[in-house]
Amino acid sequence: MSGEYGLSFKRRHLLGIEGLQPFEIADLLDRADGYVEQSRRTDKKLSTLRGLTQVNLFFENSTRTRTSFELAGKRLGADVVNMSVQGSSIKKGETLIDTAMTLNAMHPDVLVVRHQDSGAVELLARHVRCAVINAGDGSHEHPTQALLDALTIRRRKGRIEGLTVAICGDVLHSRVARSNLHLLLTMGARVRLVGPPTLLPASMRAFGADLFFDMRKGLEGVDIVMMLRLQLERMQGSYVPSTREYFSLFGLTRDKLAHAKPDALIMHPGPMNRGVEIDGVVADDIDRSAILDQVEMGVAVRMACLDILTEPLREAA
């Protein structure tokens, strides 16, 4: 399959979900679906990207996203190199452009970039000659997370359109929330944003989401409960009185979950703060929690993105 209208994804980079058409999202998800099965085989390796070089350039800490991209590239047969530049005093602007020039000289074919500043990945993409995938930039976007969440939902619920999804917690600092908001609304889901007023900007209403400052009301009748990590590292000043009070008001517990549909799915992008935004018992509930499915879908979605973005190169070769 290639997209719901037989059209396919034809962009040079994947920098965000905002602006993607439903057929482009469907194309990526359809292709990822096939890679789920591939990843379950004993022999996981394909030669689709043989001869191509993938550089994972991470200016910010990451375990699961970097590993997931590395596995995805290797399963497709690419040469994968990890460059970790966190902790160095890299500034935006010239230094980032210098990095781009250096990379150009090494002739990578795909660059996977994570950066602590919103917009930095796009800036880099303007100065490199290869395809760029945004692996998370500041609080702006994390497109492959939204795609893997969508694939998880589509496989567990059979559709995205018409579902009601509650995205709960630290929306203000979350690139996961932004990318998911764009994707879910584009694909015809209803989105509720749930959290304390300090972490839930009223401007989010403009995107077409409903805002809830009361967790129980926000979860009433929803199909999907998507929890967000409290991003303490991005907070300057105090947004929550204490993590204990936050847990009592906005932590996902069994009693709060009882307000959602009986078969509502629990999701979390990881890493989880157990006892802060989610009760460990709920996170580990094998009937309701899709958290490990999300990790599995992550590799498949990243294989699909690498495959689609390098297609023009392979066709030209």
Residues that bind ligand ASP (CB under 6 A): 136, 142, 175-176, 229, 231, 269-270
CB nearer to ligand ASP: give 145 or 164: 145
Distances (CA, A) of 86 to 133, 201, 271: 18, 29, 18
Q: Minimum distance between the CB of residue 311 and ligand ASP, rounded to whole angstroms? A: 27
**Tokens matching residue 280:** 């460990």
Phi and psi at residue 67, in whole multiples of 5°?
A: -60, -40
In this complex, which beta carbon is closest to ligand ASP, that of residue 176 or of residue 181? 176
Closest to ligand ASP by CB, 140 or 192: 140
Spatial separation of the C-alpha atoms in residues 31 and 170, rounded to whole Å: 31
Rounded distance between C-alpha atoms, residue 18 and residue 93, angstroms: 24
Alpha-carbon distance 29 to 126, whole Å?
26
Number of H helices, E strands in the chain: 11, 9
Residue with tokens 């590239």: 73
- Residue with smaller CB distance to ligand ASP, 61 or 248: 61
In the bound state with ligand ASP, the residue whose beta carbon lies nearer, of 44 and 234, is: 234
Q: Measured from the CB of residue 116, what is the shortest distance to ligand ASP in angstroms?
A: 10
| Closest approach of ligand ASP to the CB of residue 270, in Å | 6
Rounded Cα distance between 93 and 216, Å, is: 44
Which residue is nearest to ligand ASP, using beta carbons?
229
User: Shortest gap between Cβ of 285 and ligand ASP (angstroms)?
Assistant: 20
State the nearest-atom distance from the C-beta of 60 to ligand ASP, in Å.
Answer: 8
